């Protein structure tokens, strides 16, 4: 008891534990447990334990009684011989009421309990969702052990069971225990298994979501599969994965507001990156001709069902490729990811709807499709006054810092995107004044070689023929700086080191950015907060 108590204090409280201070420690420990979820703060008196929810008090008491009876509630090691999945696969289809004489040691979380007088049942579940039944009979474990099981094991506890693999009289594959041990005592009750938790709790306490809901485990697994496949797909095409700075002295590579932080040691302002683009291009300048990065970007703006302040982004760059070649590669990456998850290029969402990602994807021109939608020719030369009239006609409020291209893009989003009907579509050839890092179109004035990929009505990826002319790039960034001076908080900064890299010569290159969270949304049909395991949530109390 003493050893267990002091070691626990070290974990929970740091170094304040003293040998023999178990009574005090127990009270302080309650405070340590209670604070994170804002339960009543336990102060000095041991009696204030009564302020905790009843069920938690009872479980804390069981934890203590386990220790008192020589059962460590949190043992360091257990003689496990099989995973639950291994037992299931080793004994796939036993007849009802079979004895195998195979002795195994297994562990899992208790998800279901049925305690009767002399024979107890429990369903144990492993983290992968596989389950097996444990049975404890008076005849096999004896009166004391059975009584302790009934008194001290709750739903949600991790337990170890050692015994024979059998099937019950109902045919359930089971381990008939010779002995049992607590693997980890749970101090809080699980949610009701048969009612869905509300969305807020599911996201704030994702660990409970993962325990209770197979779909949550499935989502986590799908993300793992997709990210892994994207890496394989790129590596098989000769790309190398590199890591570029998250903390930057100057943010760039996108138009967005950054998070700002400070370095104490350098006594200077730093930015969390809004995109890795400018560093990946530096790598291309250095001769890394096919590079990619999958990592987090941070943008200091609101959250909704398609936006998160931090989100995972894939960017990849290929020397001597242009934006059309990059579009093909992007389509293949997404199709290969879909195949890895579904074994098909057709994604099947949880609600059963299917999204066909197969075959070639159409390419439509931004200006052409917009012209068709509004019934008049729109070009980069269309006067600003006319663009504003068209915007006002559909109640788009034109911001004071908007350049013409921005108005065109807003008109496009308003008029055209729905016409794609969710089908993957590359929208090509964007306005030059909203794309400062993109090469001028090889044949069309006022446009750049850029595409956006729309799937299911939202932007899934973007690709460029990269601007590599350092003189033009400098002009573009100076224009951005001027926008910034006029109050556009999202305008790009003049990054002299990036320009210096370009001045050393960057080969003609294609580049792509793919939102990983959005790719998961595309494949699963879920909102962005479901594709991210632990999305940012505001604290429950101010």
Partner RNA sequence: GGGUCGCUAGCUCAAUGGUUAGAGCUGCGGACUUUUAAUCCGUAGGUUCCGGGUUCGAGCCCCGGGCGACCCA
Is position 533 an interface residue for RNA (rule: CB under 7 A)? no
Q: Which is nearer to RNA, 350 or 482 (CB)?
A: 350
Beta strands in 475-525, from DSSP E residues, in sequence order: 509-515
Residue 498: name the closest of 506, 488, 507, 490 by CA. Answer: 506
CA–CA distance, 340 with 332 (Å, rounded to integer) = 12
Report the side by side order of strands in the sheet with 310-319. Answer: 240-241, 290-298, 310-319, 509-515, 458-465, 447-455, 425-431, 363-365
Closest CA to 506 of 326, 277, 324: 277
Q: Are 435 and 449 in contact (CB under 8 A)?
A: no
Q: Where are the alpha helices (DSSP H) in 173-263?
A: 199-204, 206-212, 214-236
Of the CA atoms within 13 Å of residue 530, those in its CB half-sphere come to 19
Which of 93, 264, 397, 485 touches RNA (CB under 7 A)? 397
Q: Compute the distance between CA of residue 148 and CA of residue 168 in angstroms, rounded to an integer.
A: 23
| Per-residue burial over 85-99, b = 16 or more CB atoms within 10 Å of its CB, e = otherwise | eebbeebeebeeeee
> Under the criterion CB under 7 A, does residue 358 sit at the interface with RNA?
no
Site string for RNA, 12-51 (x = CB under 7 A): ----------------------------x-----------
- Chosen residue from 130, 168, 300, 306 binding RNA by CB under 7 A: 168
Q: Is 526 in the site for RNA (CB under 7 A)?
A: no
Per-residue binding string, RNA, 220-259, x by CB under 7 A, is ----------------------------------------
Is 170 a binding residue for RNA by CB under 7 A? The answer is yes
Among 70, 95, 169, 442, binds RNA (CB under 7 A): 169
Under the criterion CB under 7 A, does residue 354 sit at the interface with RNA? no
Contact residue for RNA among 11, 20, 69, 118 (CB under 7 A): 118
Applying CB under 7 A, does 69 fall inside the site for RNA? no
Of the residues 12, 31, 58, 102, which one makes contact with RNA according to CB under 7 A? 58
Among 200, 389, 418, 497, binds RNA (CB under 7 A): 200
Pick from 93, 194, 236, 381 the residue near RNA by CB under 7 A. 194
From CA 520, how far away is CA 338, in angstroms rounded?
10
Using CB under 7 A, which of 32, 80, 113, 227 touches RNA? Answer: 113
Place of tokens 């308003």: 414
Cα–Cα distance list, 215 to 222, 452, 531, 533 (Å): 10, 31, 11, 12
Among 109, 154, 183, 415, binds RNA (CB under 7 A): 154
For residues 318 and 325, the answer to whether their CB atoms sit within 8 Å is: yes
Cβ 116 to RNA, closest distance in Å? Answer: 4
Name the CA dihedral angle for 228, 233, 234, 237, rounded to a multiple of 10 degrees.
150
Q: Are strands 131-137 and 173-184 parallel, antiparallel or unpaired?
A: parallel
The interface region with RNA, picked from 130-138, 236-244, 287-295, 429-437 by CB under 7 A, is: 130-138
CB of 194 to RNA, least distance (A): 4
Q: Does residue 121 interact with RNA by CB under 7 A? A: yes
Residue labelled with tokens 């337990």: 159
Residue from the set 32, 155, 256, 494 that interacts with RNA by CB under 7 A? 155
Where helices occur in 45-198 by DSSP H, the ranges are 54-68, 84-90, 138-141, 143-152
Q: Which of 138, 184, 481, 533 binds RNA (CB under 7 A)?
A: 138
Residues that bind RNA (CB under 7 A): 40, 53-55, 58, 62, 112-119, 121, 123, 133, 135, 137-139, 151, 154-155, 168-172, 174, 188-189, 191-201, 203, 304-305, 395-397, 527, 529, 537-542
């Amino acid at each position: 008891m003493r050893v267990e108590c002091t070691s626990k204090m070290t974990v929970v409280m740091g170094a304040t534990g003293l040998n023999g201070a178990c009574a005090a420690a127990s009270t302080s420990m309650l405070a340590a447990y209670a604070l994170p979820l804002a339960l009543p703060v336990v102060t000095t008196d041991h009696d204030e334990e009564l302020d905790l929810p009843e069920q938690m008090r009872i479980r804390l008491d069981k934890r203590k009684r386990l220790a008192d009876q020589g059962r460590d509630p949190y043992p360091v090691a257990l003689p496990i011989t099989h995973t639950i999945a291994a037992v299931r696969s080793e004994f796939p289809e036993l007849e009802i009421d079979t004895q195998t004489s195979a002795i195994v040691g297994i562990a899992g979380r208790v998800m279901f309990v049925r305690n009767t007088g002399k024979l107890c049942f429990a369903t144990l579940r492993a983290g992968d969702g596989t389950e097996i039944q444990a049975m404890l009979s008076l005849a096999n474990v004896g009166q004391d052990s059975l009584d302790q099981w009934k008194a001290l094991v709750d739903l949600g506890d991790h337990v170890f069971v050692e015994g024979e693999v059998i099937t019950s009289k109902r045919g359930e594959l089971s381990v008939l225990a010779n002995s049992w041990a607590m693997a980890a005592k749970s101090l809080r009750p699980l949610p009701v298994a048969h009612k869905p938790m509300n969305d807020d709790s599911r996201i704030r306490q994702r660990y409970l979501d993962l325990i209770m809901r197979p779909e949550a485990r499935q989502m986590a697994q799908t993300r793992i599969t997709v990210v892994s496949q994207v890496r394989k797909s790129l590596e098989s095409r000769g790309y190398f994965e590199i890591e570029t700075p998250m903390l930057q002295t100057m943010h760039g590579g996108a138009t967005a507001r950054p998070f700002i932080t400070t370095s104490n040691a350098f006594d200077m302002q730093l930015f969390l990156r809004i995109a890795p683009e400018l560093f990946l291009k530096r790598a291309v300048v250095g001769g890394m001709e096919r590079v990619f990065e999958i990592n987090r970007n941070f943008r200091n703006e609101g959250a909704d069902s398609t936006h998160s302040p931090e989100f995972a982004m894939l960017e990849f760059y290929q020397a001597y490729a242009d934006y059309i070649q990059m579009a093909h590669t992007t389509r293949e990456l997404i199709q290969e990811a879909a195949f890895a998850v579904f074994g098909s290029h057709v994604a099947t969402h949880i609600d059963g709807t299917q999204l066909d990602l197969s075959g070639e994807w159409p390419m439509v021109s931004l200006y052409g499709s917009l012209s068709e939608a509004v019934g008049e020719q729109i070009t980069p030369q269309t006067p600003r006054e006319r663009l504003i009239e068209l915007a006002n006609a559909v109640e788009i409020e034109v911001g004071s810092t908007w350049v013409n291209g921005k108005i065109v893009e807003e008109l496009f989003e308003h008029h055209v995107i729905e016409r794609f009907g969710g089908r993957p579509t590359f929208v090509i050839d964007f306005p030059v004044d909203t794309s400062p890092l993109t090469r001028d179109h090889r044949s069309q004035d006022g446009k750049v070689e850029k595409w956006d990929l729309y799937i299911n009505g939202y932007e899934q990826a973007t690709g460029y023929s990269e601007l590599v002319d350092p003189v033009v790039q400098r002009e573009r960034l100076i224009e951005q700086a001027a926008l910034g001076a006029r109050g556009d908080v999202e305008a790009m900064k003049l990054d002299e080191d990036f320009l210096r890299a370009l001045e050393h010569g960057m080969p003609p290159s294609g580049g792509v950015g793919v939102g990983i969270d959005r790719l998961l949304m595309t494949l699963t049909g879920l909102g962005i907060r479901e594709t991210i395991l632990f999305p940012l949530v505001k604290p429950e109390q101010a």
